[in-house]
Amino acid sequence: MKRAIFPGSFDPITLGHSDIIERGICLFDELIIAIGINAEKKYMFSLEERMTFISEAFKDEPKVKIMTYEGLTIDFCKKVNATYILRGLRNPGDFEFEKAIAHTNRKLSEIETVFLLTASGKSFISSSIVRDVIRNGGDYSVLVPSTVKF
């Protein structure tokens, strides 16, 4: 079985994330959306809200599971028997950052990282941009799945 994790904070999930998830479903037998918990990070949405946004968006997709984890991503991969990490790339900056992490993960484990380019019409979207739009009262609905409501 080809099991992958798609790690992130998903604060909140965006249409860019959804694009990667939908395309990742075609590549893997199971895709675990792995919501990382970082005590140092200040989130806009609670863990429960983020899990609800994602689970509602993919409720009809049996290949998708949603889990949380703390610590190293590769340790979580080992815990759930995932041999792949799925990552989305929006721009060259993402590539350089993700490449360093992928090389480190590969050095520390046998886990392979698979990169997908975010669809061009969604590559400008990031969770931090969405949070900024929300904080300033803008229409965030065009940037996130319809399940993201508060």
DSSP lists the bridge partners of residue 143 as none
CA–CA distance, 4 with 111 (Å, rounded to integer):
10
User: Residue 126 catalytic?
Assistant: no
How many other C-beta atoms can be found within 10 angstroms of the C-beta atom of residue 37?
12
- Residue pair 17/97 in contact (Cβ under 8 Å)? The answer is no
Query: Of these residues, 9, 17, 55, 149, which one is catalytic?
Result: 17
User: Residue 18 catalytic?
Assistant: no
Query: Of these residues, 18, 50, 87, 127, which one is catalytic?
Result: 127
Q: Which of 119, 127, 124 is nearest to 148 (CA)?
A: 127
Query: Of these residues, 9, 41, 78, 99, which one is catalytic?
Result: 41
Query: Of these residues, 2, 90, 106, 109, which one is catalytic?
Result: 90
User: Residue 103 catalytic?
Assistant: no
CA–CA distance, 101 with 134 (Å, rounded to integer):
30
User: Residue 127 catalytic?
Assistant: yes
Residues known to be catalytic: 17, 41, 90, 127
